[in-house]
Structure 1
């Protein structure tokens, strides 16, 4: 009987090891209004809620947002007050599908009063970029042409 219990425990541990995260998995941001922040990141970063909970002990709501392109989330933690840490130059970066798609988002951001730095082309490797502010003042960069994925892939290849 003890051997069967040990075997089940080992199976559980192996299964959980296979599900354990490796590498950079998330960044956590305090936010004053979780639903307003979810709407902002859905609009400007194509992110959606993949996990939501309210801590029973504290009553704090926590949300994980993902664009589902990689195993990475922004963790939003509702707080009474927020001291922006990702501003003015510290930022989250989101690659857009095209300059035109980025221009549409920047026009919307301008109309909503959240465009901090209008789009500009800074050439390779920076590309076409703009800064927006989220509802709590954290900075979001929209970009096109930065080639971060290609740089990582190239660095991963044997020399």
Structure 2
């Protein structure tokens, strides 16, 4: 997570690295967004502080953190079970826990001076979060949205699959 935070800081801090299409639009500001999820067997108290420290030490602060549940469904080989016919109620308790850890980190470091709803959000699905990001980008064309997707390779793969559609 430390390397991830340093990398993101490096590639987003220097506006000369923006693609020419963004430069031509005269982007007046950027908004750095964290899109995060990890499995519940991972300890967010080990992951998120490393990411936050690495980014802030390199001069980059996240304006917003988005927490989403896993979208990928993985079944065991040889499993005779089939997917449920009806979608199950989505349990967001893990994502709410991740949000709480994030908000506490911001508060402890004196970064969070606003309501948590201004610095983090929990979405009930990744497609809803992506659509929210796309809508905000359309509505705020003078802002460059720089999104770091991390915490899970499944999340990264799911994001790539969704944005290619």
TM-score by length of 1: 0.29
**Higher strand proportion, which one?**
1
Bigger radius of gyration among the two: 1
**Higher helix proportion, which one?**
2
TM-score by length of 2: 0.28
The higher-RCO structure (CA 8 Å, 6+ apart) is 2
